[in-house]
Amino acid sequence: MARAVFVCSSKKVQAGSVTSLQEKFLALKKTQQAVVLAHNYQRKEIQEVADFVGDSLGLSYAAQQAKGEVILFCGVHFMAETAKIVNPGKKVLMPDLHAGCSLADSCPADQLADYLGKHPGLYVVSYVNCTAAVKALSDVICTSGNAERIVRRVPANREILFLPDRNLGDWVMQKTGRKMRLWDGDCYVHMEFTASSIDRIRKEHPEAPVVAHPECTRAVRALADEVCSTEKMVAYCKNNPADTFIVVTEEGMLHRLRREMPDKKFLAGPTDHCACAECRYMKMNTLEKAVAALENMAPEVQLPAEVIAKAKIPIERMLEWSLK
Ligand code: 13P
Ligand code: SF4
């Protein structure tokens, strides 16, 4: 598997198309010698000025390889925590420290500790969408890009508890045939897509392949031509000769796909209520707040040293298992 699954994005800002706020941001990025990492769900104007845009897995590698002493992480809190855990000596900033995740919230560390106390011996595979405190209680971390590979590496004699997303866990069970205990969490954004909303758009565009994120329900996944992480969506659409695609994930992904493939057409998978699914947490980060973060060198992601030490072990295991 290629180590660098992210794209260097700032080179793609075309001369003359940069707004004055983006110019201010790029100047600050230079003076503060900051590396800017942005998730595929970030706003278009942030993606355009980031050094790297990618999925959770790509951003974990980008954080690990980041040069310089400052990382500005444009994503949600658990992702920035991961960057801090693999770079404890660096300053990790976020545009908005309150950018959380409903999925991570569905598995509080105290509830997990209680569960593990009552069910000793479980092998805990945690999706990266969880807090650092939950990672510290885990045996290995996975992302949607490597979940199948990671689960296949877990010793066959161990019973797995997969958390916090039951839909991703169900998808991995379908792919691997391995039975796992699933934590009862979900992502509120991906739960908004329904079989009827996707069936409707499929009928309107029968020629367009449907790509869906594995956080969608089994009924929605069953209607997709491809189920994959946000980064793999880019590769799938590039390699598929079709010129129109239906994209069933958070709407920020459409910016990334349109920038990478300006000649192809990408339609937002609709929910039953609207034609765009926005993660309210991802969208808390704005370019204005990103500029302020570089001006003030704050807010900064802080984690207790003992949490960093414990959470580092399963993250490093994931990075190692993803490569071999
Ligand atoms: P990726 O792992 O595909 O980047 O997805 C992260 C996420 O938060 C999905 O909702
Ligand atoms: Fe969390 Fe869902 Fe937002 Fe991803 S889209 S960050 S899983 S709430």
Q: Whose CA is nearest to atom 6 of ligand 2?
A: 101
Of 59-68, 165-174, 271-280, minimum mean pLDDT range? 271-280
Question: How much is the pLDDT for 323?
Answer: 79
- For tokens 């399963």, the residue is 314
Q: Whose CA is nearest to atom 4 of ligand 1?
A: 55
- pLDDT over threshold 50, residue 5: no
Task: Please tell me the distance between residue 15's alpha carbon and the centre of ligand 1 in angstroms.
Answer: 31
Query: pLDDT tier at 177 (50, 70, 90 boundaries)?
Result: very high
Ligand 2 neighbourhood includes 250 CB (under 6 angstroms):
yes
Question: How much is the pLDDT for 223?
Answer: 98
Ligand 2 neighbourhood includes 101 CB (under 6 angstroms):
yes
Mean pLDDT, residues 294-312:
98
Ligand 2 neighbourhood includes 103 CB (under 6 angstroms):
yes
- pLDDT over threshold 50, residue 4: no
Closest CA to 314 of 169, 150, 196: 150
Mean model confidence pLDDT for the chain: 93
Question: How much is the pLDDT for 97?
Answer: 98
Q: Whose CA is nearest to atom 2 of ligand 2?
A: 187
Q: Which atom of ligand 1 is nearest to the CA of 249?
A: 10
pLDDT in tens, 215-251: 999 999 999 999 999 989 999 999 999 999 999 999 9
Ligand 1 neighbourhood includes 146 CB (under 6 angstroms):
no
Task: Please tell me the distance between residue 26's alpha carbon and the centre of ligand 1 in angstroms.
Answer: 26
Ligand 1 neighbourhood includes 271 CB (under 6 angstroms):
no
Ligand 1 neighbourhood includes 56 CB (under 6 angstroms):
yes
- Of 189, 247, 271, 283, the one to substitute when testing ligand 2's pocket (max ligand atoms within 8 A of C-beta) is 189
Q: Whose CA is nearest to atom 9 of ligand 1?
A: 215
pLDDT in tens, 112-139: 999 999 999 999 999 999 999 999 999 9
Ligand 2 neighbourhood includes 76 CB (under 6 angstroms):
yes
Query: Is the Cβ–Cβ distance between 211 and 189 less than 8 Å?
Result: no
| Percentage of the chain modeled with pLDDT above 90 | 88
Query: pLDDT tier at 9 (50, 70, 90 boundaries)?
Result: very low
- pLDDT over threshold 80, residue 173: yes
